[in-house]
Amino acid sequence: MRQITVNDLIKTFALETIVATKDKLDVVIQKPQTRRPGLEFIDYMDFLPMEHVHVLGENEIHYLDNLSDEECEQRVSNIVKYKPPCIIVTDDRGNLVYLTKYCRKNNIPLLRTAEHNYEFIKKIDAYMIKNMAPEIAVHGVCINVFGIGILLRGKSGLGKSETAHTLIGRGHRLVADDIVVIKKLSPQTLLGTHNGKNKEFLALRSVGLLNVVRQYGRKAFQDETRIALDIELTTWERNTLNNELEMETKYTEYMDVKVPYIQIQLQPGRDVAGLIEAAANNWYLQQQGYSAAEEFMKRLESDHSKSSWE
């Protein structure tokens, strides 16, 4: 998990610093989502979460402006009890006398942005969730096929990168080759990306490294993709390739998130790239509620019923 500091937020979102000491700018943020104070203004409540970045917009500042000096001081003093790593004021609002006072007193960075509250919260939450997400590195290739993220795995030398190269030639996009960084954004969502060093590079045996953007243009690469399918390439083994219809989806797990799993056995002449395209399209149809296997079984049952009746 990557660590994010208050200083990272200042640099990323070009925040104005109103109150800050150097040591507090290096504080590591512990919670990946912000909070807009609501109940926090009323009184200190021990069941409310601690250590979240607090974001105050026009509504919150307008509320404080309409309080008496004594009430305003009390409401602001309540916020700092939740130990936010920083407080950010949006909409370029001024008149921050009590916020400045208590942030300085409790050594909490007070920051400001001209961006509107809702837009800013969406941006900063997305940034923190993605950058603070648990992550692992997996040996394989990540590619986006028809808008569907696929993790392509298999032993070294089986042709993962060559298959990715064929898919790029068919208009699909490389995300990462050799080392795929997988981030867990939610209990149901995995994001595949590169590690920075292998960005845009594809390694092909006998050819060497290719920069797919320089060679095929921007359309050949994308920075990240949600992983929807886990496809493993394996060597061909006689009498082990099953052709029966599999009604139940198989899964693999990464950081407790299940991903549909497919195994493709390799044999000279097999159109592996075409099979991956078919798997991606089939997954998409399943998300729309259609299953070719189920429809086929229904037809078989219907034919069987007619034969019995006749």
Within a 13 Å sphere around the CA of 269, how many CA atoms are in the beta-carbon half?
A: 0
Which stretches within the chain are classed as H helix?
Answer: 6-13, 22-25, 39-42, 58-65, 69-80, 97-105, 117-131, 160-169, 212-216, 272-287, 292-309
Q: Which residue matches tokens 């299953």?
A: 291
178 as an active site residue: the answer is yes
- Rounded-to-integer distance, Cα 248 and Cα 16, Å: 54
* Per annotation, catalytic residue among 24, 52, 160, 165: 160
Q: Partners of 88 in the beta sheet?
A: 55, 111
**Catalytic-residue membership of 258:** no
Q: Which of 105, 139, 298, 304 is catalytic?
A: 139
Could you tell me which of 20, 7, 6, 10 has the C-alpha nearest to residue 99? 20
For 254, the token pair is 């990464």
Pairing of strands 224-235, 148-153: parallel
Q: DSSP states of 216-276 as a string?
A: H-GGGB-SEEEEEEEEEEEE--TTT---S---SPEEEEETTEEEEEEEEEE-TT--HHHHH
Catalytic residue among 178, 183, 194, 230: 178
Question: Any idea which residues carry the catalytic annotation?
Answer: 139, 160, 178
